[in-house]
Every structure is written in C-alpha cells, then in structure tokens.
Chain A
Amino acid sequence: MTENFPLYLIIVLPLLGAVLNLLFGRRLGNTFVSLVACSAVAGAALVATKAVLLVASDLPDRGALIDQLVSGDWIVAGDMKLQAGLMLDRLSSVMVMVVTWIALLIHIYATGYMEHEPDFARFFGYLNLFTGAMLILVLGDSLPVTFIGWEGVGLASYLLIGFWYHEDKNATAGRKAFIVNRVGDFGFLLGICLLFTVVGTVKYGDFGSIAGRLMTPWWMGWPVGYWVAILLFVGCAGKSAQIPLYVWLPDAMAGPTPVSALIHAATMVTAGVYVVARCHTIFDTFPEAAKMTVAGVGALTALMAATIGIVQRDFKKVLAYSTVSQLGFMFVGVGTGAYTAGVFHLMTHAFFKAGLFLGAGSVMHAMGGEGDIAKMGGLGKHMPITRWTFFIYCLAIAGIVPFAGFFSKDAILAGTFAAEFRMSTAMSGPQAQLVALYPKVLWAMLATAALCTAFYMWRLYFVVFTGKFRGTSEQEHHLHESPSSMTLPLVVLAVGSVLAGLIGVPAVMTHGLPESVEHVMTFFTGWLSPAMVPASPEPHEHWVEWALMGGALTISAAGIGLAALLYRGGISETAENLKDKLGFLHKLLWNKYYVDEIYDFLLVRPLRRVSGLLWKGVDNIIIDGGLTKIGPFFVDIFGAMAQRFQNGDVQRYIIAVMVGTAGILFGSTYWLAYRGIQGEVKVDKRSATLKLGDPRMRPGQLIYAIDWDGDGKFDDTNVRFNSELKHEYGSAGQYKIVVEARDPVWNMVKRSDDWFFGASVPLAAKVE
C-alpha cells in the first residue's frame, strides 16, 4: 500500500477542465470548450489506465496505489485526525476505468448532441465537474473523502438536471434530486459518525481489521456494524435510487440526455453499489442482517421499477425505471454477498445503459426533442446505426447470451439463489427456515423483474424502431441519423456491451477451454476476489448452475417474445385491449404506484404547512407577538397609569406627599413587626424551641408575647429576645402557637394569626 503515484492528476484534470470551461468557456468558443473538456477527461482516462495497469502488474493482490492529497492532516480536532488521500485498489480500478472511459465517450457524444446549445461551455464545465467529483468518490481513501465526491456528484447532478433552468419543471427536478439525495446523505453522514465513534477509523485501508469491533452490541440488540451498514445504506439508497428514495431518478431525466447516460445510468447512481462493496466488511458483520436488508430493498426496487417500466411512454422514463431496476439487481448482488457479481453488473450495465440512453438521445435528437414513444415508430430505417446499436443494448440488458448483461445478471441470479445468510446459524426452527428461504424469494423477485425488463426493453425497441411513424409529418421530414460524434460512442458502447461480459464468464462455462482463454474469461472474478473475500459459499453443483442459466435465458426470451407479440410493428390492438382490461393495474403502474403523491401528502405538504405554521404561529404570534410583548405590555400599562396619575392638580401632588409620608412611617414599622413574627418551631420530646425574627435584625427591637398552647391567653409576655425561646409542655399533643410582636417605639402590633397585610404565619408544635 505504499506505492506512490500521482493519482491526484486523475481528479485534477477534469476539475481543471471544469474551471477553465466555466470561467472562460463562453468567451473562447465551442471548439475550445469541447477540446478542453474531452482532453481533460481523456487525460484522466489515460492516467487512470496507467495507474490501473500499475495495480494489475506491480502490486500484490490486495495492494493499492495511494496518494496523500493534503500533506499531513486534513482535519484536526483534538484527538481526531483525519487525512485526505486517494487510493486505487482493484475495486476502485474497475470504477475508475468505467467512469473515465465512459465519461470520455459521453463527452464526445455530447459535443455533437449539444452542438446548438448556447450554454455549451457551462454544460461541459458541469460535465467535467461531475467527472472530477465522481473520481474523487471512487478514489477516496476514506469515507469522508468519498463523501466529498459523493456530494460533488450530487451538485453536478443537480446542476445538470436543471441545466435547462428556463423551465421550472427542470429546476424542480434538479432540486428534488438534490434533496432526496440529501436525505440519503443524512444517513451516510451519521453512518460515518457512528463508524468513527465506535471504530475510530474511517479509512478503507483499515477496514480489514475492524470486523471484531463492529460486533459490539449497540442498539436494540444489534451490533454496531449493522447500524453503520444501515445508515450507510440509507445514503446509498439515496444516491442509487432505491426504495424509498428512488423517486428523484425518473424526474432527473429532465436533464440533457448525455447527462442521463453518464450520471443517471452509468456512473453516479452506481456509487451506492460501489460503497456497499467498498465497505463490505461492515455489511458482512454477523448476522448479516444489513445485507439482508440491502438485498431485500434491492429486489423490491428491481421488481417495482421494472413493473412501472412496463407502461411508461416517455422514452427516457422507461430507461430511468430500467436503471432503478438494474440498480436493484446490483444491490441484491452485493447484498447477498456476491460482491463480484454486483460490481460486474455495475460495469456491464454501464456499457449498455449508457448506450441505451445515448441511443435515446440520438432518437430524440432526430425527433426534435420529442420523448413520447407513442409518437415514434419505424425509426429503424432512418437511423440504422442507432437502431442496431440499440438492438444490441436491448439484447444485453435483456440478458441474452453472450451479451454483457447475460453474464452479469446471471452471476447475480446464481449468487442470489445460492446465497445463505449467516443469520440462519444464529437461529433455529422455523425462523431459520425462513431465513434460508429468503434468498430463494429474492431470486424469484429478480427473475420476475428480469422478465419485466426483457419485456419493456423490447417493447421500447419495437415501438420506437419498427412499425410506422406516428409523429407529425414535419418531424418525419427531419428524421436523420445522428452525426458521427454521436454514433461513434454508440458503436463503441455496443462493442463494449457485446464483449464486456466475456471477462466474467462463470467457471462452469469455461470448463475445458484453453487456460489463457479461461483466464481472460474469468478475469473479473479473479481480479476482484482478493479485494472482496467472497462471503458467499461455493456455488451449487454444475447442473444447478446450468439450470439457473437456462432458466434466466428462458425468462428473457419469454419477455422478448411477449414484447414481440404485442408491439412488433407498432402498438398492437391486443396491447390496447390488455391495457383496458387491466385498467386498474395499468393506472397503478402508470401513476408509479402513486409514490410521488404519497410523499407529497406525507412529507412535502406537511413540511410546508408546518413551516408556515411555525413561522406565522410560533414565531410571529407566540414568540414575537406573545413572549416578547408581555414585558412591553406591562410597561405600557403601568406607564399609562403612572402618567395618568399626574393629572396636573397641585392638591393631588400635596396629598401624595402626605400619603407618602404616612406610607414611610407605616411601612417601616409594620415590616419590622411582620418580620419579627417569622419563625420556626423545633420540637424535642416535650420541649419546643421557638426561633423568631430575621437573623439580620438588631436584637431586642421587639417585645413578644407568646401563647404556647393556642388557648388565647399569652403564657409568656414581655419577652425581648432575638434568638430562641424554650417551652416545656406538660402533656403530649398538637399545640398551636400564637406569637404577638410589638414594636415598643410605635406600639405597632402584629400577631401571627391575623390576616392583615400578608398571610398569617402558622406556627405549631407536636409534642410526644
């Protein structure tokens, strides 16, 4: 782990490009901008490739390139010292390669796609910014550094979704994305805090040794590792659009299509998967409940999004739900411990999903920005490259052998089917059986989702590229194939979609092939397995694997076939009939299970209402109108009284003087006597001790008479004392004591049982 390499170049180059483009791009023209943007990313890609080669060749299996970004400490606070550095190991190598190269392709694509955009420079600035931030995310050597990139990509995503800010809809979509991501970040941040608090480190390099400390029970009987994992997963669910935080991603399609391809399909949204894989030590914490949660959420998301995808009509929305669904797949992968499979799917998905989006962009480019697939159709003949690349992507995502999607999806499905959660070892009886059944349930959900995926992807393909054109004649007139800057990336990605899967072929299939071929074909597993010690047990016997593969293929084929049945050559009448028959279901799916509405009802509107209430009610009325007005109110009232009293009548003035004089005389004497009868009684068997007067009083000022037994007759009279007086009682009982104090100067008398001017002073003795 000591190898030094200028990793910072990988992030600095795109960031530099961003700065240049944002600051000077407008003045320097589009050519310059595209040159800067593409060469920055290309530079990063080259440096990254060099670094990855270094990792592959010169480092031991679990080694990593590291680069101390800030010399010394980054944040120092008392006993806490955080460093900020970059780290390139095998896992991040995969990500870096995917991010840099796909980013480069999309940059190139965007130079064509955004050609006529007035804010060309801004767009590329943001895109470069995103690339830089994504690379920080990927390369960060600790959770805080990752978090910097994490938020950075969030910002870039916000900016790019709202790139066409002239429309409120786009700006709102951007805001929604950012805020939903923030909800995730809330968990992520707390996860970092918890991890740091309990374990004392947030560096990935130290994660190998923290498993023991993660076992500490923490809350509700679960180990701390579980909570850390859950909190981190909240962040991942936000970024990677999982239930319940997926709602932003479909809206995010408001951004330019290259953005959707790069950020909302290929790279950023997979960051959550990356983090789960990266922190697998934490997720592996016994009893793996966190992983079960991850897998469950992933499967649910995969299924839910896939079903929604079936009925959507917006080109990019379908792709968006597909992305959500595929991300669910990946989470099931990492959640069941098949980390390699998850990351593998991440990689292959990057190719074909980016391709799908770019294809969509190409189509919409030709359609003049139209996104409704109902208005397309028969585009295949106008745009052959787009069509055929799209065809390949669809095969890939549907999981047809030997396209990329088949292998990665199969790896996940197989991994899921084979998974055993260690929680079952901690349980017995039916509970254990339930846990054991859990992977199978997940598998079934994924299989259903895969069916849906194949169906809606091919529905998309058929509706868009086959049949008759359903748009306006003007649109038809303009239909054309996209420029080469756009088609080139399509082709490259198509090639990738075909080939990428071949480096992760399951072992059963490569059995018997030449060793070098086998090495290449199982390269991916071998590449990652040292970094990600596989937690899942050995896979099943070969026939099970073959059967699973066959099943998956069958499911995909079934989906494609169904789609062909209903949509080949345009939207068939059967499809329309089906829609009418299943009206309720269609409506539910069309409205995306009403999740947005539910959120609006449960969160957004209450927040707005509560905010208004707090402001108008608490702030303005209670605090400002009430609490801070009480004082002034009384001041005002008393002020008015004081003022009104001064009515200008001299005689009243003189009377006030006399009353004041009398008041002084009375007050000073009355209070003396009054204070004089304040006292307490202490009882000790038959004798009671009476303590009277204020200790601060001059002694001997008052003359007391005391009635010890409350019979109305004073037992002791003419007593002058200022400390204590004792009395012996003859018999036991409760006695009331009455004291009378007399001020000899004024003969002002105050009895402890009179009610004049102030409460009476109860004195009593209870003797035994």
Chain B
Amino acid sequence: MGMILPIVTFLPLVGALLCLALPREEEQLHRSVGFGTALVTFLVSLLMLSGLEPAKMNHVVDWAWVESLGIRFNLGIDGISVWLVLLTTFLMPIVFLSTWSAIHDKVREFIVAALILETGMLGAFLALDLFVFYVFWEVMLIPMYFIIGIWGGDQRLKAAIKFVIYTMVGSLLMLVAILYVVVKVHQVTGQWSFALATAQKLILSKPEQIYLFLAFALAFCIKVPLFPLHTWLPLAHVEAPTAGSVILASVLLKFGPYGMIRFAIPLFPHAVETVAPWLAVLAVIGVVYGSCVAYAQDDVKKLIAYSSVAHMGFVVLGLAMMNSRSVNGALYQCLAHGISTGGLFLCVGVLYERRHTRKMAEFGGLWQRMPVFAATLLIFTMASIGLPGLSGFVGEFLVILGTFSAKERAFEGMPAMFENARMLSAFAATGVVLGAVYMLWLFQRVMLGPLTNPLNRKLPDMTARETAVMLPMLAMAFWLGICPNTFLKHIDPAVTQTLTAFKEKYSAGAADGEARMLGDSAKPKVEEPAAPGGNP
C-alpha cells in the first residue's frame, strides 16, 4: 500500500507512453488502452479507501527530488482529497468510453493528452509539496489546452488560448507566492523546504498574509470560477469536446476549492478574516448572476457552463464561511457538481454526436424519440437543481445551513466577519429557485413540446455504450443523494482537522514584522541565507 499513490498517479502516464509506442493507425487499440488504463487506475485507486484515516495523511510517499532546494516528491491522501481523487479516477474511464465514437480524428493524440491530464490532476490532488503541486497544476493545463484546441468547436482557438491565459494569470502569481513562502521559511528556519507541512507552520505578518492569500486565491478563484473571473469558462466549456467539458467541469473546477482549503486557508489564516467576507459576497453574486445569465442562454452547453458558475458559487460561499457545516457542504457540493454537471455534459455530448449542434432551438420534443436519454437527462437535471435524494441537495443544503448558522466569528478570537451571513444565505438560496428556472427551461426546450424539427425525427436513442457511460454516473447521483455519509464520513474528520489546525495557527497570532514558525515564539533569525544552489 505504501506505493499506491505514485502508482495511481503515474499509471495513466504509463498508459500514455504505451499509446505512443503503438502504431498510430490502430485507433481501436488506442481507445482500448486508454479506457483500460483509466479503468485499472480507478480500480487501483479504490484500494486507497481501505483503512483510510481521514484526519491525517495516508499512504504518504516522500522521495527526494531536488534535494538542494528541499523539493521532495511528497504525496499523501486524506479525507479531503480522497473523494476528489476517486471522482477523477471514476470519471476518466467514463470519459474514454463516452468519446469512443465522438473522437475519430487523431485518436492516439487524444488518448495521450487525456491520460497525461489524468496524471496531472491526480498528482495535483495528492501533492503535499508546494512545488510538486505547482508542477502538476501546470501539467494539467497543456493537455487541456490541446483537448480544447484540437477537438473543440468553431471558436476553439480563442477558447483554448483564453483558458490558458486565464489560468496562467492566477497560477503565475501563485508561483510567486509559493516562492515567497518558501524563501520566508528558509529565512526563519535556515532550511529549504517546499513541504506543505512546513509552510503551514510559518506565520507571517498580516499584510503579507493578505497579499499571499490573494495571490493563491486568484489562481483558485479563476479555476472555480468565481464571479467576475468566470468568462473563460463558458467559452471553454462550449468549445471543448464532450470529454473536455466533462473533465473541465467535473474535475478541473474542483481544484479551486481544493486549493483553497488545502493551501490558501491553512497557510494564511489571518488573511481569511479580511478576505473571506469578500469571497463570500462574490460567491453569492456568482450564484445569482450565474443563474440569471444561464437563463438567458440559447446554447445548451453554455447554459450548463453558467450553471457551473452558480453551483461553484455555493462552494466558495461554503469555504468562505469557515465553519464545519459549510466547508463540508462545499466539498460535498464539489463531488455532487462533478457528477451532475459531468452527467449533463455527457448528455449534451450524446445530442451533439447526433445532431452536431447545441442550439436549444434546434431541438424540442426529443423525448418522443429518445425516452431513455430523456430520463437520463432528467435525472441529471434534477440532480443539478438540488432535488433531495439526488446528488445536488446535500451539498447545497449544508452550505446554506452552514452559512445561515454561521456565527459572526468563525472562531473565537477572530474579528466579526459575517454580520449578514443570513442575508448571504438567503441570496444564495435564491439560487435554488433560479436553478430550477433555467434547468427546467433547458429540459423543456430540448426534450418537451412538439417534435417540430424534421432533422430530429429519426434520432436514435442512446446506444448500449452510451447507456453504459451514463449508468455509473446515474448510480453515483443517487448514491450521493441518498447516502451522503459514505462520503462525509471521510470528508468531515478531515475538515474538522483542518479547521482545528486553522484555529490553532490563527490563535498563535500574526507575526508583527518578522516571520516565525508556529511553536517557536522567539527564534533568532538565521543570519545569512545559505545558497539555494546548495553551496557546500
């Protein structure tokens, strides 16, 4: 079990290399290799659950990588990341299966890109070293760029570039922040270390924390995406091929909240009191705004993309509230959104493969032709608007409840942050109403009404393969709705642990002037920084 994390992380990469070794023309073989690799990865990743102690890091590997800089290949998994990792590994076989016939051009390249992407995502979820995290974070970017750019729609070039540039804006600032933290750690301890655990002990002055938090948060908020940093998302979603949209919506967006709870919040607790209220307000604006704009769309994918803005607004709201209910809810909403929106995009993919259009006006009355598909879409629609018993409800409920019940102070000793938490909660809850407005509008325009368009008269229902793609997603949608504790039993202890650590670090007080490490109050500053090159 000790090696399971690197194995899971690099299995897809091995698959990618295998694909590169196979002849280009064997498209079917490539698809099988891709699917097989992803499936094996999923099965292996399931082993991670056994004996998992959610409140601490499990299966940790800590290998030297660049020793003189203190960069270590450090992976670990806890209750926060485990379900996100499993979500990733669960989705990838589905994605491969779903693109079996959708991708018929440059199949090998697609499989390779998707597998590399999977490695990137898994690595980023598992990384416990800031450098490793950043590397994987960036590794995700390029395959996604290719997936959008090569297999995307008409405006794919614009979408791909916009996606990369937006992400880069945040991630480069994050890089500076990481460097700053590490240099500070070095100045205080005399050691070079990129380990998250070490960085978590570093206490900086409040202004420093705020700037660094903002640098981190920018990267994560762009990924989320938080209003008003969201405009890359509709474009990327619409232009990306189905597989790309699914991965983007289901997994990549989750790096925003994950990064917040794993990095930004624990590292800079004293910034939270200043920034979190703003985040919360933006998140609520995002909920309402995303919903409204989604309602105005006439493109199916775009509508779903904007619905992501709204749903992820809940997530950020939950995180910003910093209480165990809301944070649990936020993380749960991540999973739920991954399943429901992923499912919706898969459904759009089914439609697109048949009609090569995503305009709602082109459809209508499809239920008559495609009842199974209609049922599938309906379930994902309902999951998306948070119908209890389906995936969307628990997360939204916990976030709204957590926000509503948020005390003015997230913790004893913190300044009052949320005088108007209830108002926020109420505004966020309007998202529940608006969600129904736009999603049902979508469902009606596509599925209900008379079947007027002659092009739709002969549409076949879902094939066996497509049904096989949808079934696990549907099962998960129900499972998430009915048995939330399957997931919360891992998430909750980890969240509690994170919040405890946060409180502990917060109550140690921000540094005034000189940085220090948690635990040692007055350590003399190390005189001259040793060479980062590791001069002997």
Contact = CB atoms under 8 A, between A and B. Distances in A.
B328 A77 contact: yes
A623 B286 CA distance: 13
Interface string B407-446: 0000000000000000001100110110011001100100
Interface string B119-163: 000000000000000000000000000000000000000000000
Given A77-B488, A175-B444, A624-B231, A615 B296 contact: yes
A697 to B, nearest CB: 22
B450 A167 contact: yes
B388 interface: yes
B324 A79 contact: yes
Interface in B480-505: 483-485, 488-489, 492, 495-496, 499
B404 A197 contact: yes
Interface stretch (B171-179, B392-400, B513-521): B392-400
B400 A190 contact: yes
Contact of B492 (A78, A171, A182, A608): A78
B231 A611 contact: no
A59 interface: no
Given A186-B429, A607-B292, A76 B404 contact: no
A337 B389 CA distance: 33
B484 A74 contact: yes
Contacts of A144: 388, 397
B230 to A, nearest CB: 8
Interface in A703-750: none
Contact of A628 (B231, B367, B437): B231
B231 A171 contact: no
Nearest to B426: A190
B222 to A, nearest CB: 11
Most chain A CB inside 10 Å of its own CB: which residue of B323, B328, B375, B397: B397
Interface size range of chain A in the complex? 35 or more
B524 to A, nearest CB: 23
Interface range for B: 35 or more
Contact of B292 (A148, A152, A614): A614
Contact of B293 (A151, A165, A190, A615): A615
Given A148-B389, A189-B400, A619-B231, A75 B296 contact: no
A381 B325 CA distance: 65
B85 interface: no
A34 B51 CA distance: 48
A77 B402 contact: yes
A628 B483 CA distance: 43
Contact of A162 (B234, B394, B448, B492): B448
A197 B403 CA distance: 10
B526 to A, nearest CB: 22
B485 A75 contact: yes
Nearest to A162: B448
B484 A168 contact: no
Contacts of A77: 324-325, 328-329, 398, 402, 488, 492, 495
B485 A78 contact: no
A619 B436 CA distance: 21
A635 to B, nearest CB: 11
Contact of A614 (B293, B451, B496): B293
Interface string B214-230: 00000000000000100
Contact of B430 (A150, A155, A186): A186
Interface of B: 228, 231, 234, 289, 292-297, 323-325, 328-329, 365, 367-368, 371, 375, 378, 382, 387-389, 393-394, 397-398, 400-402, 404-405, 425-426, 429-430, 432-433, 436-437, 440-441, 444, 447-451, 483-485, 488-489, 492, 495-496, 499
Given A165-B447, A179-B440, A193-B405, 11 more contacts: A148-B388, A152-B389, A166-B365, A168-B449, A170-B448, A182-B437, A186-B430, A186-B432, A607-B295, A611-B293, A611-B296
21 contacts: A26-B371, A72-B485, A75-B484, A78-B495, A151-B389, A162-B448, A166-B368, A166-B451, A168-B450, A170-B448, A178-B436, A179-B433, A182-B436, A183-B433, A186-B430, A189-B397, A197-B404, A611-B292, A615-B296, A615-B297, A619-B234
Interface of A: 22, 26, 70, 72-80, 122, 144, 147-148, 150-152, 155, 158-159, 162, 165-168, 170-172, 175, 178-179, 182-183, 185-186, 189-190, 192-194, 196-197, 607-608, 610-612, 614-616, 618-619, 623-624, 627-628
